[in-house]
A and B are shown apart, each in its own frame.
Chain A
């Protein structure tokens, strides 16, 4: 019972955060609300017994990634986003499509998710088991992610570095 209440509470927080991400006009606020979403998601993970995942969620996501976001926002001192109507399509097709799509999805998930309910900690994902998996069955993906990260670093370097001033900053194209 308690279990359900906790779920509902944090689900509410989640959704609230998500919605506020949408409605906030300043990126920083959006970022903060996203952090809220993530933290409460971590709680949900705990409810599902994925303690390690929950931890990582808080550390990596809420910690590292979001910090990066905030940093960039500050760097570019992005202000309140202005109201431009660049895309009629978005309002004509996008929103309805989204509503229809998510409606269908919800229906599917409710109708045919094919199971009853899960008890708290139905599957206890403690670090040891995870490590087992990660370094045997999922060894290759794990290694490959290193390439991914490598690429990411290179990309960040290349893109963020100022173009060399061989011919001073003239814009082409």
Chain B
């Protein structure tokens, strides 16, 4: 018997960790991973709510999220490669040609 709120809080924590990672990490790939972490958090709450509402659509939603995540991963990593090719760095703090 696990209270629903536990799951939700866990998902919230994961989401928060993802946000934190995005904010503090310097390596672009890691930042991207943090985004994935956020998505995982979201997924957890979807599943939890699905269980809560006895509505399978929640679980289906998770599939789509995964697909999207996969797609994003492909595109994102491609972009990262492109950037790396142009700038020879993976440090976001050094990727700031565009400013002001």
Contacts and interface: CB of A to CB of B under 8 A. Distances in A.
A4 B6 CA distance: 10
B100 interface: no
Contacts of B91: 81-82, 84, 86
A148 B64 CA distance: 11
A159 B60 contact: no
Interface of B is mostly: helix
Interface residues of A, number: 87
A152 B75 CA distance: 6
B92 A86 contact: yes
Closest 4 CB pairs of A and B: A86-B93, A102-B16, A152-B71, A18-B17
22 contacts: A14-B14, A27-B30, A44-B47, A53-B63, A60-B70, A61-B36, A81-B25, A90-B24, A98-B16, A98-B19, A101-B16, A101-B19, A102-B19, A105-B12, A109-B12, A110-B9, A113-B4, A123-B56, A138-B64, A148-B68, A149-B67, A160-B78
Interface of A: 1, 3-4, 7, 11, 14-15, 18-19, 21-22, 27, 30-31, 34, 37-38, 41, 44-45, 47-50, 52-53, 56-57, 60-61, 64-65, 68-69, 72-73, 75-76, 78, 81-87, 90, 94-95, 98, 101-102, 105-106, 109-110, 113, 115-119, 122-123, 125, 129-130, 133-134, 137-138, 141, 145, 148-149, 151-153, 155-160, 162, 171, 173
